[in-house]
């Protein structure tokens, strides 16, 4: 899937199987990704597990788990909140039944959005920097903190998936079953949803060409909406290719604007 | 379970009060109500803690002795007493305030979508 890290690095990764996004003293988030089409290393998320760790008098440990076609509005123990009935320092809010839930952890100033679009899940998290960085050395595998390992990257090392379009797309018999997006039609389709031609737009094009699944257009659109709702710095909402200083690992050329 | 913090804050609020000056009763009751609020917020975590139960009884006795009403203003001189420990924003705000700054805590964003 496409990953936007805490440092605003944008990557497209394989990361098939279960991977930790966050693993600090307050929160653990793990995702499971599965291949989307035969012949491509592209994967998408079909399971999300979130553990809100016990915190003083504010809440007991609460575990949330969503899988494709089962996006509950409750923790695995059946409750919808943590902490005392009055304070509700941790709450799940269902925005769209079975499609979109929000988790508000007041005691750690953290908000999590989980959505299902098509057959796959999306995730967006806002967390105080002081808490996000509160982890032990042994908890170093966190995709949100360090990004994906280089060996797990699908993009060209610069976050740029468009550059490899046409080179990495699967050429299997399943191609014929797709609606048949060309680069031009995918561009048009994505532009309808996302007028700004930023990295979210390019991800949309990549996903359409990779899978032919129009649901990924909506996923890219809502991912951008989540950024606008949760990212604290408006000037960084959009990420554009160009001469920038925010290239991951000292390489590449993405800039935020 | 943080009951000691409640007690420390109460002592800090009342240590400078002088029973000979006007307004002592009012200020003492405010501090007691803040202390009571603080103990209520720790009630779950402290349910098996003898110090906590002693504090709750002590507060009740003192409120009776001083004729303090249960409802009314609470001391706000020390933000630690009045802040909600389960609200990170008030927590972080108090911490920043003590540091002499009013800037909000900085937040980070992470997102995952698509294929």
Contact assignment for A123 to B114 by CB distance below 8 Å: no
Distance from CA of B81 to the nearest CA of A (A): 15
* Lookup result for tokens 């109500």: B33
A256: contact with B, CB 8 A cutoff? no
- The complex scores an ipTM of 0.89
CA end-to-end distance (rounded Å), chain B: 45
Rounded CA-CA distance B95/A176 in Å is: 60
- Whole-angstrom CA distances from A189 to A117, A160, A177, A203 are 16, 20, 19, 12
A/B interface, count of CB pairs below 8 Å: 138
Q: Please list, in sequence order, all residues whose beta carbon lies within 8 angstroms of the beta carbon of residue A224, skipping any fewer than 6 positions away.
A: A194, A198, A200, A237
A36: contact with B, CB 8 A cutoff? yes
Give chain B's contact residues with A (Cβ, < 8 Å).
1-2, 41-46, 84-89, 92, 105-115
Supply φ then ψ for residue B106, to 5 degrees: -90, 145
Q: Which residues of A touch B89 (CB under 8 A)?
A: 106, 109
**Residue A244: per-residue pLDDT:** 41
Substitution target in A6, A39, A57, A236 with the highest count of B β-carbons within 10 Å is A57
Q: Which residues of B touch A222 (CB under 8 A)?
A: 113
**Residue A38: per-residue pLDDT:** 85
Look at chain B and count its residues: 115
Contact assignment for B114 to A220 by CB distance below 8 Å: yes
E strand or H helix at A127, and its extent?
strand A120-128
Chain A residues 128-187 within an 8 A CB cutoff of chain B = 128-132, 143-144
More confident residue, B21 or B32: B32
**Residue A100: per-residue pLDDT:** 97
Q: Which residues of A touch B112 (CB under 8 A)?
A: 1-4, 21, 31, 45, 122-124, 143
The helix/strand/coil state of B33 is helix
* Lookup result for tokens 């595998």: A141
**Residue A242: per-residue pLDDT:** 55
Distance from CA of A129 to the nearest CA of B (A): 5
The token pair at A86 is 């009055």
* Lookup result for tokens 């007690």: B7
Q: pLDDT, tens digit, for every residue of B42-95?
A: 888 888 889 999 999 999 999 998 889 888 777 764 444 456 778 888 766 555
Rounded CA-CA distance A50/A30 in Å is: 6
Contact assignment for A123 to B89 by CB distance below 8 Å: no
Look at chain A and count its residues: 257
| Closest residue on chain B to A119 (Cα) | B114
**Residue B22: per-residue pLDDT:** 73
Distance from CA of B92 to the nearest CA of A (A): 9
Residue B100 has pLDDT above 80, yes or no: no
A221: contact with B, CB 8 A cutoff? no
Q: pLDDT, tens digit, for every residue of B27-43?
A: 888 889 888 888 888 88
CB A116 within 8 A of CB A68: yes
| Closest residue on chain A to B105 (Cα) | A128
pLDDT below 50 — which residues of chain A?
Answer: 163-164, 166-177, 243-253, 255, 257
């Amino acid at each position: 899937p496409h990953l936007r890290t805490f440092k605003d690095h944008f990557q497209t990764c394989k990361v098939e199987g279960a991977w930790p996004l966050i693993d600090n003293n307050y929160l653990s988030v793990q995702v499971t990704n599965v291949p989307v089409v035969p012949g491509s290393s592209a994967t998408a998320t079909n399971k999300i597990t979130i553990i809100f760790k016990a915190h003083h008098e504010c809440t007991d440990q609460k575990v949330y788990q969503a899988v494709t076609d089962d996006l509950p509005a409750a923790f695995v123990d059946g409750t919808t909140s943590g902490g005392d009935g009055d304070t509700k320092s941790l709450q799940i809010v269902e925005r769209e039944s079975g499609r979109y839930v929000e988790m508000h952890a007041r005691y750690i100033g953290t908000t999590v959005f989980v959505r299902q679009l098509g057959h796959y899940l999306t995730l967006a998290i806002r967390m105080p920097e002081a808490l996000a960085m509160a982890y032990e050395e042994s908890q170093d595998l966190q995709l949100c903190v360090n990004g994906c390992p280089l060996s797990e990257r699908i993009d060209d090392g610069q976050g740029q998936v468009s550059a490899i379009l046409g080179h990495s797309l699967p050429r299997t018999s399943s191609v014929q079953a797709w609606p048949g997006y060309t680069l031009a039609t995918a561009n048009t389709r994505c532009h309808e949803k996302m007028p700004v031609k930023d990295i979210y737009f390019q991800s949309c094009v990549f996903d359409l060409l990779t899978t032919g699944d129009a649901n990924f257009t909506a996923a890219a659109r809502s991912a951008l909406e989540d950024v606008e709702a949760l990212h604290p710095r408006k000037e960084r909402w959009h990420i554009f290719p160009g001469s920038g200083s925010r290239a991951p690992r000292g390489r590449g050329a993405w800039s935020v604007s | 379970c943080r009951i000691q913090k409640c007690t420390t804050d109460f002592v800090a609020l009342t240590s400078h009060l002088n029973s000979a000056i006007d307004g002592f009763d009012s200020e003492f009751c405010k501090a007691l109500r803040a202390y009571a609020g603080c103990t209520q917020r720790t009630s779950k975590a402290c349910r098996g803690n003898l110090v906590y139960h002693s504090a709750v009884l002590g507060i009740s006795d003192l409120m009776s002795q001083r004729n303090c009403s249960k409802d009314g203003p609470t001391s706000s001189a020390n933000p630690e007493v009045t802040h909600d420990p389960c609200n990170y924003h008030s927590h972080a705000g108090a911490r920043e305030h003590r540091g002499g700054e009013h800037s909000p805590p900085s937040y980070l964003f992470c997102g995952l979508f698509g294929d």
